[in-house]
Amino acid sequence: MKQQRGFTLIELIIVIIILGILAVTAAPRFFDFSSDAQTSVVKGMEGSVKAASALVYAKSIIGGGITTPLTIDDAGTSVALTADTRYAAATATGIFEAVENDDFSSVVAGGALTAAATAENVEEDDLLIFPTDLAVDATGEPLCYVVYRAAVAAQTTPTVVAAAAPVIFAVTDGC
């Protein structure tokens, strides 16, 4: 009688099935897809803020002057403008009103938000826009957000210079 060496085909298939089941149940614990999803949400919001800023600027040019608040749609949504510019202000009644997204919150940087803000080149009067369901750190600061820095007012003397566009960028290090 021959002595058997190795595995039979049935034993090999059973081992492969068991390893497959273990891989399917254990692998998701090693991958962090939530971070990628949160980053995508914030990057999408960055695009929305840029589009809303362009919309407000275009509507203020069409209106022929700098008036605040500026009505931007048929529903009567009003947006506050930055003084002497045609861009939305960095406030909840400014650019955040133009974005109109209930899944996000906003807060003006400064005060309690200086620790994270300093590290990411955020200035005191910038508006931070962040998803309401994303994590915040121990001090309550958002870890993943969009920064909206209001446009700089136009210089009127000695020459007229157009207002610089607002600065808009996403901070996704903490997502």
Phi/psi at 67 (nearest 5 deg)? -125, 145
Question: Is 97 within 8 Å of 78 (Cβ atoms)?
Answer: yes
Three-state secondary structure call for residue 149:
strand
pLDDT digits (tens, 9 = 90+) for 105-162: 777 766 555 555 555 677 777 888 888 776 566 566 667 888 888 887 665 555 545 6
Cis before 69 (ω within 30): yes
Three-state secondary structure call for residue 147:
strand
Residue extents of the structural domains in the chain: 34-171
The size of the chain, in residues, is 175
Q: Would you call 95 exposed, middle or buried from its count of C-beta atoms within 10 A (0-12, 13-18, 19+)?
A: buried
pLDDT digits (tens, 9 = 90+) for 47-102: 999 998 888 888 888 876 666 677 777 777 788 887 677 788 888 788 888 887 77
Which residue has 């903490």 as its token pair? Answer: 174
pLDDT of residue 155: 56
Three-state secondary structure call for residue 168:
strand
pLDDT of residue 17: 95
Q: H helices then E strands: how many in the chain? A: 4, 6
pLDDT of residue 119: 54
pLDDT of residue 127: 83
Give the separation between CA 19 and CA 100, rounded to whole angstroms. 49
With 90 as the cut, is the pLDDT of residue 13 above it? yes
Q: Which two tokens stand for residue 57?
A: 């600027």
pLDDT of residue 110: 62
146, containing H or E segment: strand 145-149
Give the separation between CA 163 and CA 165, rounded to whole angstroms. 6
Three-state secondary structure call for residue 40:
helix
